[in-house]
Amino acid sequence: MASNWLLGLLGGALIGAGSALLLVTHGRIAGISGIAGGLVERAAADRAWRLAFLAGLAAAGIAAAAVLPGAIGAPVRSLGAMAVAGLLVGFGARLGDGCTSGHGVCGLSRGSVRSLVAVATFMVTGAITAIVAGRLS
Amino acid sequence: MTASARSRVALGIAALAGVTFGAGLVISGMTQPARIVGFLDPLDGWDPSLAFVMAGAVAVYAVAHAAVRRRARPWLDARFELPGRGSVDAPLVAGAAVFGIGWGLGGFCPGPSIVAAAGGSVGAIVFVMAMLAGMHVRHRLAA
């Protein structure tokens, strides 16, 4: 369990470092839902850096699947439930202007009150949902 | 540097930021939905270690944010595109509430879902397709 905490801290520091790199060089918030949402919504001129960032993210997934079996965990729900979950996450993140990265990592670091409220809200509804779904399945 | 060389460097660094971010998600366990659900559900053998992920990320990012606050522009772009100090409103709370329900149900938030989908998880691929559809729905309703 202690190693989970250390790996969490280390992984978290890397998440912070990747986000910091995007801030310092591109002046952008590393909010994944905002970056992906911009591809769905915006004009082509703004697409290149978003695609490059997401390609890097995907490359990490491909590498992890190759060298660290088990790092990509199996789904905990049915495919139908995963589709519903994805819809809610995509819709909710755009309506609420951010997700775990934009509101969580970047927003909390910046001392944003909106982000603090968003994080508190999705922690509560996430916990309620996980508790209920865990008892039903 | 020519403009095109400069833009290639900028894209390479954006990709590097993505790889670093993605490696952090993998190492910290965020790409394992069972860990996320175990963190969110405190009644079933709570696993608090994911709180350390946020602590590590905020610790690093806060330093970078403090360092760039007084700069006029980022290194490779014309200006900072950062959110202003808006007020807490109904869409923020409603959106975060809906997001949390999806997060607690699927055990994925957007970043880890993209990493896991690229890693070949069928559940994550379904999740990402639905997530993009959900973003599109929100965009159409707002237009």
* Number of other residues whose CB lies within 10 A of the CB of residue A133: 21
CA distances from A59 to A63, A64, B3, B20, B118 (A): 6, 8, 26, 10, 7
DSSP string, B75-101: TTSSS-B----PPP-HHHHHHHHHHHH
As given in the structure block, the two tokens for residue A114 are 């909106």
Identify which has the larger pLDDT, A45 or B66.
B66
Span B8-17, mean pLDDT? 96
Token pair in block for residue B61: 């990012």
Mean pLDDT, chain A, as a whole number? 94
- SS3 for A41-77 is HCCHHHCHHHHHHHHHHHHHHHHHHHHCCCCCCCCCC
- CA A105 – CA B112 distance, rounded (Å): 14
Q: What 8-state DSSP symbol labels residue A28?
A: B
For chain A, the first-to-last Cα distance in angstroms comes to 26
> Chain A residues with CB inside 8 Å of B49's CB?
1, 4-5, 7-8
Model pLDDT, residue B6? 81
The token duo for A73 is 């965990």
DSSP letter (8 states) at residue B72 = S
Of all residues in chain B, what percent carry a pLDDT higher than 70? Answer: 99
Nearest to A48 among B11, B105, B127 (CB): B11
- Touching check for A116 and chain B: CB below 8 Å? no
| pTM for the model | 0.96
Confidence tier at A2 by pLDDT (50, 70, 90): low
Question: Do the chains contact at B40 and A129, CB–CB below 8 Å?
Answer: yes
Interface of B with A in 66-95 (CB under 8 A): 67-68, 73-77, 79-83, 85-88, 91-95
Q: How far apart are CA A76 and CA A123, in angstroms?
A: 19
Instruction: Measure the CA–CA gap between A70 and B25, rounded to whole angstroms.
Output: 13
**Residues in B touching A89 (Cβ below 8 Å):** 99, 102-103, 106, 108-110, 113, 127, 131, 134
Mean pLDDT score of chain B: 94
**ipTM, interface predicted TM-score of the complex:** 0.96
Q: Which residues of A touch B65 (CB under 8 A)?
A: 20, 23, 106, 109-110
CB-nearest to B26 from A36, A71, A106 is A71
Residue B32, CA distances (Å) to A29, B36, B68, B95, B127 in order: 24, 7, 33, 24, 14
pLDDT in tens, B110-139: 999 999 999 999 999 999 999 999 999 999
pLDDT per residue as tens digits for the range A58-117: 999 999 999 998 899 999 999 999 999 999 999 999 999 999 999 999 999 999 999 999
pLDDT band, very low/low/confident/very high, at B11 (cuts 50, 70, 90): very high
